[in-house]
Structure 1
Amino acid sequence: MASPVMSLDVLPASFGDSLLLTCHTPSRPWRLLIDSGPDETYKALQRHLRTLTPGAQGKRVIDTFVVSHIDHDHIGGAAQLLNDASLDLEFGDIWFNAPAPAGPRIRGVAEGQRLAELLGASSRVLPWNTAINGQWLCSSADQRCPRITPRRGIKVTVVSPSLKKLKALFAQWDKEIAKLRAKTREAVEPTRLPRGMPSLDDLAASKTAIDKALPNGSSIALLVEYKKKSVLLAADGHPDVLVEEMRSLADSRQMKLPWNVDVFKLPHHSSRANVTTELLKVVRARHYVVSTNNAQFGHPDAEALARVICAGGQPTIWFNYATKQNLSWNDPARQAQYGYICRYPAAPGGGVRLEL
């Protein structure tokens, strides 16, 4: 069997995200770590990183560590990771958006501010957004879909947040940081399903509210391409931004929609407020990834997965936890009817790995 071009490890991060994407380049693997999960699952991330082979300098290399946005389930373990001397980690770059005025970085007690302080004022020197000269990572009207080439053949395109969404968060930064410190949970829209036992088609057609949470709207979402393979890592991105940016990128490359990717990490743990019919008309994948153990918010929402399944293409849906809720989708009759496949961890607490 040929060696993979890319691999994606979807680690067990409770109701959060922690993903390691590896491009297997000729010189050495290029590694992109997306989020750390909440603090309570840091040990799982630590165990996985210890399996990485150290480089020539004896360090385990993470070429880029992305802290997608200031929600506890994405940023909660970041400080532990950056301060973990036992791993002998070396970071090529760290991508994180925070309001940073001229002069000293913001100091504070909440996680987003602690990370900003660590990047700017710690005795350990760490790179911060060096790929774009220290600026914010965003795609906006005057900087549409910026492309970053970290190594020959690898293309990384920022498809969220928009500058408008990022500034909306910064305007409420102190308030959102206070919520983060208190671990305040966002309100969840109650499910309003059709009467009786709904079909997947009925679920897919259900009208649901669109995500308006400021931190989610500020999510750093990335399209990574290498050797004709592609992975879309959507964090908790808002669907309107993802739709606009992917359409714009398709226009710039003179490509017809839907945009076909190999792997799509669904936004916001497959929330119905983020996985919309419009988004799935713009982006189509062979493999869809759901990162959650169903805690806190009850994700994945049935409407979201129904939309994925009904979008067509006989998709494979990957779950990083084999919970009762996630396993309910592994129904042979329904899979045969709609032409989809489910994949789960081989062992409890092991997460899943996709190889391309």
Structure 2
Amino acid sequence: MITVEALPALAGDCLWVEWDDGDRRRRMLIDGGTVRAGSALAERFARQPVDARDFELVVCTHLDDDHIGGLLGLLASPPEGFSTQDVWFNGHHHLLPPDLLGMPRAEQLTALLTEAGTPWNTATGGRSLVVPADETAPLPVIELPGLTLTLLSPTRERLAALRDSWDAWKAEQRQRAGAQRPAPPDLLGPSQPVAEIDWHRLALDYTPDKAPGNGSSIAFCAEHTADGSRVLFTGDAHAEVLVAALRRLSPDGCYRADLCKVPHHGSAHNTSPELLDVLDCDQWLITTDGGPAVRGAEAEYRPGEGSHPSLRTMARLILGSRWPTLWFNHRVPSTERYDDGFLQHRLGFRARYPPRGAKGIELVVGPGTVSRAAPPR
């Protein structure tokens, strides 16, 4: 079995993953949330015995602050007993020339890994973790003790897009940091009650994500060697890249996943109807406190009133399979709207949240089963 603990990382991702390997317990960390949410990771380490803080892998999916921020604190001042066999992060010297990574946090992470001599992308011999552009080539497979990882994203084209549009993308980040922009009205929720929403119309209304930073996300499938349980870790990857990779894995049908971490915190532009068509999955983990990744001053940050998860994405998940289960790591207005018995019965889905008073949510994943673990102490 695989356990996936979605820490309370506010608007970001921070996933603490463990699995059994014979009589040993192995672990992996995927992203660290924002710098502001770094306390969640520190609190999780405080609950972890010092002699069980060794990791097979730490993954920084991409350079957005809501994924990279918390990892800076971890690597700058590692907790007692912390170690990792490898770090996955596509730094400036991995990308196609010319160099493009000028974002301060990405440069900080690069410096931390270099100065500490931390194992870095050793699974690919120090090269970037990219899915081959040649569709006839097999997807890269990395074997960890007790777990097999199959890389799905990014593609070389997505990394090249990040390089080619870096200046414009960096200017956009400065604009976001300097001004709080309201989310589109459909993402904040309509004025009418949720029971009156035309969910079928929303599900079909899709436009793809074009952000180069999201397109550079590392995404992969994790399969337990012993029992075959599968979890799809998507970062903020583009749906079109995931669809193409999953079709290569399962050309004759849908790819089975026992749990899927919904891409980009439930953004409207990263979970396409086509992605639902190529996935055989009815268990969905949504990691967000409702706020977008970047706001203005921290004092203006209001959880649950931002852009995630999108009603359009939720409509696709709810209508895309029979009685799907939606797992949330935060109970806030934008996620709690689905805690409506009438709506669940009418549309045929279940919504699950952290226990009252608990922080984050931990899921136990087996073949065809997902259950909530006991809340952390």
TM-score normalised according to structure 2 size:
0.83
Q: Which residue of 2 aligns with 1:200?
A: 199
Task: Name 1:341's counterpart in structure 2.
Answer: 350
Equivalent in the alignment of 2:247: 247
Distance change >3 Å, CA 88–CA 240, structure 1 → 2: same
Distance 1:148 1:187, change over 3 A: farther
Shift of 1:60: 1.3
Hey, what's the Cα distance between the residues in 2 that align with 1:86 and 1:225?
Answer: 29
Structure 1 contact 110–177 (Cα < 8 Å) conserved: no
Whether the 8 Å CA contact 2:50–2:80 is kept in 1: the answer is no
Aligned: 1:217 with 2:228: no
1:44-55 superposed matches below 5 A:
44-55=40-51
SS at match of 2:243: helix
1:220, CA displacement in angstroms? Answer: 0.4
Determine the C-alpha separation between the residues in 1 that align with 2:101 and 2:250: 40
Q: Contact 1:72–1:180 (CA<8 Å) still a contact in 2? A: no
- Name the CA distance, whole Å, in 2 between partners of 1:25 and 1:183: 44
Cα shift at 1:322: 0.6
Number of residues of Structure 1 aligned to a counterpart in Structure 2: 339
Cα deviation per residue 1:75-132 (whole Å; 9 max; x = unaligned)?
Answer: 1112101022334310110000022179xx9996700011112212x1x220100011
Distance apart, 1:209 and its partner CA:
2.0
Maintained 8 Å contact 1:211/1:274? yes
Query: Are residues 6 and 195 of structure 1, via their aligned partners in 2, closer, same or farther at CA, if it must alter by over 3 Å?
Result: closer
Q: Deviations over 1:160-189 (max 9, x none)?
A: 111110122133446645665776489955
The equivalent of 2:370 in structure 1 is none
| Residue type of the alignment partner of 1:126 | T
Equivalent in the alignment of 2:375: none
1:176–1:30 distance in 2 versus 1, CA, 3 Å: farther
Partner of residue 21, structure 1: 17
**Equivalent-residue separation in structure 2 for 1:257 and 1:113 (angstroms):** 42
Q: Deviations over 1:305-351 (max 9, x none)?
A: 11001011311100111112211111111211222111111144610
Q: Structure 1 CA distance, aligned partners of 2:333 and 2:185?
A: 20
What TM-score, normalized by structure 1, do the two folds share? Answer: 0.87
Within the candidate set 130, 142, 145, 1:138 is matched to 130
Identical amino acids, percent of aligned pairs: 32
Structure 1 unaligned runs (5+)? none
AA partner of residue 36 (structure 1): G
- Mapped to 1, the partners of 2:273 and 2:349 lie a distance apart of 17
Aligned counterparts of 1:324 and 1:313: Cα–Cα separation in 2? 25
State the shift of 1:51 in Å: 2.0
Which residues of 2 match residues 210-289 of structure 1 at below 5 A? 210-226=208-224, 227-251=227-251, 256-289=252-285
Report the alpha carbon displacement of residue 286 of structure 1 after superposing the two structures with TM.
2.9
Tell me if 1:160 matches 2:160.
no
Structure 2 stretches of 5 or more lacking a match?
Answer: 293-305, 366-377
**Does the CA-based 8 Å contact 1:106-1:113 persist in structure 2?**
no
What secondary structure sits across from 1:224 in the alignment?
A: strand
- The corresponding residue for 1:116 is 110
Residue 330 (str. 1) matches residue 339 (str. 2): yes
**Farther-moved stretch of structure 1 (169-178 vs 225-234):** 169-178
| Alignment-derived partner of residue 321 in structure 2 | 312
Query: Does structure 1 retain, via aligned residues, the 8 Å contact 2:100–2:163?
Result: no
